[in-house]
Each structure stands twice: as C-alpha cells, then as structure tokens.
Structure 1
Amino acid sequence: MSISYQLDQLHQRVKANIWLRYFAVFNRVGLAAGFLPSGFVKIMGERFTSLSVNHPMGHYLEALHLTGYYYTFIGVIQVIAAILLLIPRTATLGAVLYFPVILNICILSIAVRFEGSLITSPLMVLANLYLLCWDYDRLKLILPFKHTGAPTGISQQPIIRSTRFPIAFFSGVAAAVVVLVLLLTNGYDIMPRNTLADCQRQCKDNSSARACQVFCNCIHQKGQSLNQALDGYHRALRMKFTQ
C-alpha cells in the first residue's frame, strides 16, 4: 500500500470529523485577523511598531519602512492572503500564500528575540501548517509521492460525517502549545525586551546583574546588533568569573 494511499485514507477520516472542520475554520479566521491589521498599516505607509531603531527588530522594521513600495507590497500580500483565507473557495490559495510570509516572520522573531511575536508567530506557523494539511487533497500532486490511488478509488467512497470529539488530537494541540510557550519563554539566557526599562528590569532577578546591564546598554543605548550585545554580555560574564 503506497504512502499516498495511506495519506488519502487518513485525510478522508480527518475531513469527515466536524470538530476538526470547525478547527480549520477557527484557524482561518484567526490567521486572517492576524494579517489584516498589520497589512493595512503597511498599505497606509505607517511604521508598524513604536520600537526604537536601536532595538534589533527596530533596525529591521525601520529599514523595511524605508523601502518604499516594497513595504506597501508586503502589506498588500498580507491583506490578500487574509481575504483569501476567509473565502471557502480560495482558502487553499490563501494558506499557500500565507505560509512563506508567516514563516519569515517566525524565523525573524526568533533570530532577534522579539517578544512581540516570539510566541504568536510560531503558533501561527503551526496553524498555517494545519490548514495546508487540511487541504492535502488539493496539494498532494506537488508532493514527491507516487500517486497510484486505490484500486476502487478512495474518492468514490461515501463520506461518513463524524461528530465524535477528537480528544487525543486536541490534547496534542494543547500540549504542543504549552511546550512551545515554555521553550520560547525559557530558552534564552537574556532577552533584549522592547525598551531599556524593560530590559533592565530583568537584571534585578539576574545573578549576573552587571553583565545584564552591559547587554541592555549595548542594545538600547549603543544600538548594537544582537550578536554584538551578546558578545559583550558573555565577556562581562567571563570577567565576573575570572575575578
């Protein structure tokens, strides 16, 4: 039995469940709500956040804002992807268009440790992946599987709707969200935060307060990159332990 046929069977069972269908609708609305405001801000030519240009994410957003119509283009793409998601007939196209944009935002947020989207963007990536899997029947031809199909034709089988609540699936979703949040909120030794005051506030509970202050000053006062600030932080830590 081919992988393609097994995936077809699994996908048919999933799409027959009413709760998983509701979850797909929920993800579409949630993802659309995430892109519409930010997209319109870009189309209007306004700066997306009030972050200082000294902040690592502020560096990027300020440069992006100054790119002219490229900045507007990103906003247009976000709005189009959001609208396509809300229309049932174009939801698949919306999910495909949405994915590279949100994946880029996710990687960017993690790379610069931007807490504004550090948690939400990975969750949005997962939601987008769910929608792409939901539309597997429309996207499967681009996957590197041999599409032989079932001898009797799985698409010809009658779809039996199920109202059984998928406890295992939603338990897995909840567990994935909890693990992701814990990893992202506890996976870094230090965070730049959004302002100097917020950054310095974490130094009070830090066993290396001086090194923490060095890091915050490098980010918010000197405008150094995240890597430069981390180098200064680690140098200060080494000096502490060698004294």
Structure 2
Amino acid sequence: MNIIQGLDKLYARSRGNKWMRYFTTFTRLALVAGFLPAGYVKIIGERFTDLHNNQPMGHYLEALHHTGYYYTFIGYAQVVAALLLLFPRTVVLGVLLYLPIILNICVLSLAVRFEGSLLTAPLMVIACVYLLCWHYERVKYIFPFNDPPQQAIVQNNKFPKWFFASVVAIFLLVGYTVTHMYDLMPRNTLTGCQTQCGDSEDPAACNVFCRSIHNNGQDLKKSLKEYERSLKRK
C-alpha cells in the first residue's frame, strides 16, 4: 500500500466515524467563536485589549490600532473567515483565510511571550490544520504526491493581444491610482515629507504635519485631522 492509498483509507475511515464528525463541528464552532468577537472589536474601531502600552503585546496592539483602516480590514477578514466556517460548502475557503491570520497571531504571541494567547493561538493553528485534513478530498491535489485530474488542453499559438493590453492597462491604472490617491503623505523622512509642502494648499500646515509625524511621533490620523482643520480655517 502506497502513501496515497494509506491516506485515502485513513480519510474514509475517519469521515465515517460519527464522533469525529461531532468533534469536527465543535472545532469549526470554536474557531468561529474565536474570531467573531475579535473581528467585531476591530471593525467598530475599539482597542483590542486594555494592556499597558509598555507591555510588549500592548505596545504592538497600540501601534496596530493607529493604522487606520488596516486595523478595520483585519477585523473584516477575521469575521469573514469565521462566517465561512459556519457553512459546510465554504469551510475550506474559510480555513484557508483563517489559517494565515491565526498563524501570524501564534508567532506574534510566542515572539513577545504573550500569555493571553500563548495556549489558544497554537491550538487554533492545529485546529485549522485538522479541518484541512478533514477535507482532504478537496485539498489533496496541492500535495506533490497527488496528481490532479488532467483536462484536455487546446493548443493555440495566436498572440493574445487583448490580454496583454489589459495587463498593461491594469498596471498603468493601479500605478496612477496609488500615486495620486493621497494629497499628503508622511514619507519616510522629515525632509522627504517637507518636499511636498511647496505644492500644498497650506504649506505651513503641511510643515506642521511633517514635524508632528517625524519629530513628535504623533499618529497619522490625528496629524491629518489637524492639517484638514487648518485648511478649513483658510
């Protein structure tokens, strides 16, 4: 018996056991319960914990809280991953979204020795791996020892001009959008930030913005609000 046949036999025997099916359902619901509240807190913009800023994890979470809609994005990703786990047809998709998020949390918890998730995060990573094993029939073709079903390929040597034209158009569109979507950028240095003040509607306010970021360590959101208030007073 080769490794593929062994895995297939183990998989069939496991899926036929009702107690393992109960455990799988419990695992899914436990993972859902782990991400729904955490994601909701981020979506409404609340700080995730009341840890002191000088505590290693508290320091990280405080900085994360000041990242604006990136913080909210993480919350939505957690909620979406949790909701996908609720439905059998979307479990695998949910796990594939859930796993990298919780793996990041796990490594972070170990790196800063945060006891709040030192146990739960590794267990949640293992739970995700278990669910992928439970749905082995859906993910087995990502392993090098399983060959996916072959589909007929129609050879065509015609140059796909519309495809490559679309690639170039998307590249130019994205490039233009991301370089023109913000009127004011913090840049990497104080000098770099101040180079854009000459074209600003209020150069003085722009310079105050740059100094508040690079000299005072003020968060971006607050600095932008002060800059916008200065523009309204003009």
TM-score, with length taken from structure 1: 0.59
Does the 8 Å CA contact 2:42/2:72 hold for their aligned counterparts?
Answer: yes
1:125 positional shift: 1.2
Residue identity opposite 1:85 in structure 2: L
Alpha-carbon distance in 2 for matches of 1:148, 1:94: 22
2:67 equivalent to 1:63 = no
Distance 1:14 1:51, change over 3 A: same
Residue identity opposite 1:18 in structure 2: K
1:6 positional shift: 1.7
After the TM superposition, which residues 111-122 of structure 1 pair with which residues of structure 2 at under 5 Å, given as runs? 111-122=111-122
Tell me which residue corresponds to 1:8: 8
Structure 1 runs of 4+ with >3 Å offset: 146-149
Alpha-carbon distance in 2 for matches of 1:18, 1:96: 25
Structure 1 residue matching 2:78: 3-state secondary structure = helix
1:2 positional shift: 3.3
Q: Which has the higher relative contact order, 1 or 2, with Cα contacts under 8 A spaced 6 or more apart?
A: 1
**Structure 1 unaligned regions, length at least 5:** 150-243
Tell me which residue corresponds to 1:130: 130
Alpha-carbon distance in 1 for matches of 2:145, 2:114: 38
Tell me which residue corresponds to 2:172: none
Identity over aligned residues, as a percent?
A: 64
Alpha-carbon distance in 2 for matches of 1:93, 1:133: 13
Does the 8 Å CA contact 1:5/1:147 hold for their aligned counterparts?
Answer: no
Tell me which residue corresponds to 2:99: 99
Tell me which residue corresponds to 2:221: none
Tell me which residue corresponds to 2:32: 32
Tell me which residue corresponds to 1:192: none
After the TM superposition, which residues 146-185 of structure 1 pair with which residues of structure 2 at under 5 Å, given as runs? 146-147=146-147
Residue identity opposite 2:78 in structure 1: Q
Structure 2 residue matching 1:110: 3-state secondary structure = helix
Structure 2 residue matching 1:53: 3-state secondary structure = coil
Structure 1 residue matching 2:129: 3-state secondary structure = helix
Tell me which residue corresponds to 1:86: 86
Alpha-carbon distance in 2 for matches of 1:38, 1:148: 37
1:148 positional shift: 8.4
1:128 positional shift: 1.3
User: Residues 167-207 of structure 1, C-alpha deviation per residue, up to 9 Å, x if partnerless?
Assistant: xxxxxxxxxxxxxxxxxxxxxxxxxxxxxxxxxxxxxxxxx
Does the 8 Å CA contact 1:14/1:20 hold for their aligned counterparts?
Answer: yes
Residue identity opposite 2:37 in structure 1: P
Alpha-carbon distance in 2 for matches of 1:33, 1:45: 19
1:124 positional shift: 1.0
Does the 8 Å CA contact 1:4/1:147 hold for their aligned counterparts?
Answer: no
Does the 8 Å CA contact 1:92/1:135 hold for their aligned counterparts?
Answer: yes
Alpha-carbon distance in 2 for matches of 1:148, 1:91: 21
2:57 equivalent to 1:46 = no
The higher radius of gyration belongs to 2
Alpha-carbon distance in 1 for matches of 2:140, 2:148: 12
Structure 2 residue matching 1:84: 3-state secondary structure = helix
Alpha-carbon distance in 2 for matches of 1:146, 1:125: 24
Alpha-carbon distance in 1 for matches of 2:95, 2:25: 12
